[in-house]
């Protein structure tokens, strides 16, 4: 009889150390916060007259677009869209950064496992996560880069990283994390989690329609 695999606890980088850690990849925390704020602004413009998926979808669109624009502006990253999945690719270094909505444990440092995606993801994400190792090896050889990051506590390991965000009642929690793997539409765990300080809107009473939130969701109901 098979036994479930034990939980592998991730390395957790706390908010005070996040900026220095992410700087090794060429990611500035203010750029991430600008993206989260842009997503909040546009999600807040959605009303009950818009489709029920509008707030979550428009938030994701503007987080992705703003973050990719900010990263491209550093001249260290370039946007790419493999299988129509928007990512940023670090120039000359084997890092990628993607964006997904996370569940309610996103940004909570002491959670033993870490977050899931708010919604199950598809084949493109699975291939991006599980297919990272051979791609990174090729890129490392081309760039003359060897991953000597040890266990990842001081420098980010090479691979496909994700910005996960979650719109809670009064704030947006977020982290930039490196997954262990991907199966059945979900992340199987995390190698490294870099926890960022939560972002709070200036108007605390603001209630965008994707609070508790997901990026995109459809509920199909049979009629007839």
Domain span holding position 20 = 11-31+76-147+155-199
Look at residue 222 in the predicted model and tell me its pLDDT: 47
Cβ pair 43, 224 in contact under 8 A = no
Look at residue 101 in the predicted model and tell me its pLDDT: 94
For the chain, the domain total comes to: 1
Contacts of 22 (CB under 8 A, 6+ apart): 28, 29, 156, 176, 194
Q: Is 17 left (phi over 0), alpha (psi -120 to 50) or beta?
A: alpha
Bridge partners, 99 (sequence order)? 163
Look at residue 137 in the predicted model and tell me its pLDDT: 41
CA angle 28, 33, 37 (to 5 degrees): 155
Residue 204 lies in a domain: no
Biggest CA-to-CA distance, the chain: 62
Residue 119 lies in a domain: yes
**Tens digit of pLDDT at every position of the chain (224 positions):** 444 445 578 999 999 999 999 999 999 999 999 999 999 999 988 989 999 889 899 999 999 999 999 999 999 999 999 988 999 999 999 999 999 999 999 999 999 889 988 776 656 666 667 675 444 444 443 444 444 555 799 999 999 999 999 999 889 999 999 999 887 778 899 999 999 999 998 876 567 767 655 554 334 344 44
* Residue 5: count of CB within 10 angstroms of its CB: 8
Residue 67 lies in a domain: no
Residue 142 lies in a domain: yes
Residue 98 lies in a domain: yes
Residue 115 lies in a domain: yes
pTM: 0.81
Residue 70 lies in a domain: no
Residue 214 lies in a domain: no
Look at residue 204 in the predicted model and tell me its pLDDT: 63
């Amino acid at each position: 009889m098979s036994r479930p695999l034990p939980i592998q606890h991730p390395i957790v980088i706390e908010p005070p150390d996040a900026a220095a850690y992410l700087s090794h990849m060429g990611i500035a925390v203010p750029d991430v916060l600008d993206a989260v704020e842009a997503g909040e602004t546009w999600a807040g413009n959605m009303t009950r007259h818009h489709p029920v998926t509008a707030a979550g979808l428009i938030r994701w669109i503007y987080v992705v677009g703003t973050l990719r624009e900010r990263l491209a502006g550093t001249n260290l990253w370039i946007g790419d869209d493999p299988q129509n999945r928007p990512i940023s690719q670090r120039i000359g270094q084997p890092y990628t950064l993607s964006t997904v909505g996370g569940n309610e444990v996103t940004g909570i440092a002491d959670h033993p496992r870490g977050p899931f995606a708010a919604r199950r993801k598809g084949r493109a994400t699975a291939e991006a996560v599980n297919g990272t190792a051979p791609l990174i090896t090729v890129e490392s050889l081309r760039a003359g880069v060897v991953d000597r990051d040890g266990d990842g506590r001081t420098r980010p390991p090479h691979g496909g990283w994700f910005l996960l965000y979650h719109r809670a009642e009064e704030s947006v929690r977020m982290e930039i994390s490196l997954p262990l793997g991907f199966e059945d539409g979900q992340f199987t765990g995390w190698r490294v989690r870099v926890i960022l300080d939560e972002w709070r809107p200036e108007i605390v009473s603001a209630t965008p329609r994707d609070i508790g939130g997901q990026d995109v969701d459809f509920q199909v109901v049979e009629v007839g």
